[in-house]
Amino acid sequence: MSEIGAPSRVLEGRVILVTGAGQGLGRAAALAFAVQGATVVLLGRTVAKLEAVYDEIVQAGGPQPAILPADLAAAQDRDFEALAQAIAGQLGRLDGILHCANALATLSPLSQQTTEQWLTQFRVNTLAPFAINRVCLPLLTRSPDASVILIGETHGHAPAAYWGGYAVSKAALEAYFRVQADEWADLVNLRINLVIPGPIHTPFRYRTHPAEDKSTLPPPEALCPLLVELMGPQGRQTRGQLIAFRP
């Protein structure tokens, strides 16, 4: 993947759903997509955080976004169907999805982790991207150029001690990605890629590495040119790729 900065307004006219849009990488990406002309659908659990991102986009002169509150840890099939219906009804189209929603229970030995913790992490980190892609597929296939980006995690790609259910759920996301990429391989107007950000300065990093000097880490905004490129016309030839971000 090249490091060429995206030309101005490369996402003009597109509608892009961002999950986990209230903070961290989801927030940064939503702002970056809006700057490039996209109408962003902000999905997250905390309405106040989504409203703050909404205000930032409007104040920056971006297209008016939409807010879809959702608790992905509790969502059922009917809730995912309603999400797709809301996007179709309010915006009439969907040209991309960035899956940033993320759930981590705790870093601990497997002997101390619970079934409920594992289920929550699987529901948010693995099941929700699959379910959202499934219900949104009719909208995505009607787009002339649709892109889906999954956000992986280093410990899902290379699991290690104490990452437990989180690592397993992210490893399962990677397996899902490979299956979905294979199934969509012949669709010229729809692509999917998986990005592993590596260490970046986000609230998630504070939870997993509280004593770390965060000033040494790149901010989530450093990843946004790559995400814009993958989401826009520059990314049309990049499909089915696992991309490890290198700042």
CATH number at residue 127: 3.40.50.720
Q: Catalogue the E-assigned strands of the chain.
A: 15-19, 39-44, 66-69, 96-99, 146-151, 190-196, 242-244
Task: Please state, in angstroms and rounded to a whole number, the distance separating the CA atoms of residues 29 and 202.
Answer: 13
pLDDT score recorded for residue 204: 60
Can you read off the two tokens belonging to residue 222?
Answer: 């450093």
The structural domain count of the chain equals: 1
pLDDT score recorded for residue 3: 36
Task: Note whether residue 216 is domain-resident.
Answer: yes
Radius of gyration in angstroms for the set of CA atoms belonging to the chain, rounded to a whole number? 17
Closest by CA to 156, choosing from 145, 168, 164, 141, is 168
> What positions carry a catalytic annotation?
166
User: Residue 208 half-sphere exposure, CB side, CA atoms within 13 Å?
Assistant: 21
Task: Note whether residue 170 is domain-resident.
Answer: yes
Task: Please state, in angstroms and rounded to a whole number, the distance separating the CA atoms of residues 52 and 114.
Answer: 34
The pTM (predicted TM-score) of the whole model is 0.91
Task: Note whether residue 166 is domain-resident.
Answer: yes
DSSP 126: I
Task: Please state, in angstroms and rounded to a whole number, the distance separating the CA atoms of residues 54 and 68.
Answer: 11
What domain range is 29 assigned to? 15-244
Task: Note whether residue 192 is domain-resident.
Answer: yes
pLDDT score recorded for residue 170: 95
Task: Note whether residue 5 is domain-resident.
Answer: no
Task: Note whether residue 3 is domain-resident.
Answer: no
Per-residue burial over 193-220, b if 16 or more Cβ lie within 10 Å, else e, is bbbbbebbbbebbeebeeeeeeeebeeb
Sheet holding 242-244, edge to edge: 66-69, 39-44, 15-19, 96-99, 146-151, 190-196, 242-244
pLDDT score recorded for residue 213: 57
Task: Note whether residue 7 is domain-resident.
Answer: no
pLDDT score recorded for residue 76: 96
Task: Note whether residue 1 is domain-resident.
Answer: no
Task: Please state, in angstroms and rounded to a whole number, the distance separating the CA atoms of residues 115 and 205.
Answer: 24
Parts of the chain with a pLDDT under 50: 1-7
